[in-house]
Amino acid sequence: MLVHIDDVFDGDNELREMESKRIGVWVAAIVLTALIAVSGTAYYFGVGPFSRNRAKLVVATTTSLYDTTLLDAIEDQFEDNYPIDIYFISAGTGIAITYAQRGDADMILVHAPLKERSFLEDGYGVCRKIVAYNFFTIVGPAGDPAGLIGLTPSHALAKIVEEGRKGAVAWVSRGDDSGTHTKEKSLWDAAGFEWIELREEDWFLESGTGMGKTLQITDEKSAYTLADMGTYLKYYTDQLISLAVVVDVGKELLNVYSAIAVNRTYNPEVSFDAALSFTKFLVSEEGQQIIDQFGQDVYPQKLFYPAVQLLKERTNAALASWIEEFAYFDGEECPDKYQDNCKELYN
């Protein structure tokens, strides 16, 4: 079952952060009370009859995985084979990590390596495993008024600044401390600009919301934005937006997804065994096949690509090196001291 924070509360970043602290409690109470009143049977957020024989796993994850519905396909297959009910909380990566730090999630499924490293180093997480990747893309009006097609990401962003200051184009930033927002800030930095300064300019807009809604806002304003390719393809194919891909080349746009269990030393109440089972499923042949085949009969290209075989067998050495450079910590996807009791994941 998926609950998206923007479906429950839609306000500015500061207020949303305050509201998010109460969201799990009152949503659970409302849903559970209503279901008991109607049927006399307790359900756990729509995933089936509550059973003491089934464990519960709360996964804080990103809006890109939520918006594409990949998690639905993964959840169905996993719950058919394991006595575990999954509850996904969808938010930007920064907020997803906050849920886990606060003890409201058993694991995270995110895409911001720098934040993930801090999560491990600060003692909150263990057993990190890279599970998938795709690429970010700069999208904008089909006519490309800024003339970005054919440019590198850095040159494209410099051109957007130039044209934006002329009043010719606008940029929409997530502005929500998500993985996409983190990537965007790193791209501005690589292009020689300070995001914190750009956000004060009139042409620079902030949505403060998830990827899907940001794409729709960008479309409405005939602006440009940074999106993960998976969410863009979903919204474009579903005719929810008319934006076009204008920049999609370069290792700077690599987007890597990782699963990390909450450290049971930090939170003794965590469903660690369930988190480890889910991680093992994600990196198994079956889990990787779901990622590989998801949407292949609907979309013009894959939304996500499985990462396990690529990294293990280096089937594409250049791409494997990009992932290692971008998403490995000290040469490893999870250094030994953070592997806890799950070393079998790295054999």
pLDDT by residue (tens digit) across 191-227?
Answer: 999 999 999 999 999 999 999 999 999 999 999 999 9
Percent of the chain with pLDDT over 70: 85
- For residue 65, the surrounding DSSP H or E stretch is helix 63-68
DSSP 342: -
Whole-number pLDDT of residue 250: 85
Whole-number pLDDT of residue 66: 83
Is the pLDDT at 140 greater than 60, yes or no?
Answer: yes
As to burial, measured by CB atoms within 10 angstroms (0-12 exposed, 13-18 middle, 19+ buried), residue 33 is: exposed
Whole-number pLDDT of residue 249: 82
Asked if residues 298 and 237 have their Cβ atoms less than 8 Å apart, the reply is yes
Whole-number pLDDT of residue 27: 40
Regarding predicted confidence, which is higher, 249 or 48? 249
Over range 136-143, report the average pLDDT. 97
**Joined tokens for residue 74:** 């993964």
What pTM was estimated for this model as a whole? 0.84
Over range 90-99, report the average pLDDT. 94
Is the pLDDT at 49 greater than 80, yes or no?
Answer: no
SS3 string, 312-328, reads HHCCCHHHHHHHHHHHC
Q: What is d(CA 309, CA 293) in angstroms, rounded to the nearest whole number?
A: 15
Concatenating the DSSP letter of every residue in 165-213 gives HTTS--EEE--SS-HHHHHHHHHHHHTT--HHHHTTSTTEEE--S-HHH
How many CB atoms neighbour CB 240 within 10 A? 13
Q: What is d(CA 75, CA 1) in angstroms, rounded to the nearest whole number?
A: 8
How many CB atoms neighbour CB 312 within 10 A? 11
Q: What is d(CA 162, CA 171) in angstroms, rounded to the nearest whole number?
A: 12
pLDDT-based confidence at 343, cuts 50/70/90? confident
pLDDT-based confidence at 50, cuts 50/70/90? very low
pLDDT-based confidence at 52, cuts 50/70/90? low
Q: What is d(CA 18, CA 11) in angstroms, rounded to the nearest whole number?
A: 10
Q: What is d(CA 312, CA 254) in angstroms, rounded to the nearest whole number?
A: 18
CA distances from 7 to 33, 49, 91 (A): 20, 24, 10
Is the pLDDT at 53 greater than 50, yes or no?
Answer: yes
pLDDT-based confidence at 67, cuts 50/70/90? confident
Q: Which residues does 71 contact at the CB level (< 8 Å), separation at least 6?
A: 2, 61, 65, 88
Is the pLDDT at 37 greater than 80, yes or no?
Answer: no
Domains of the chain, CATH where assigned: 2-134+256-346 (3.40.190.10), 135-253 (3.40.190.10)
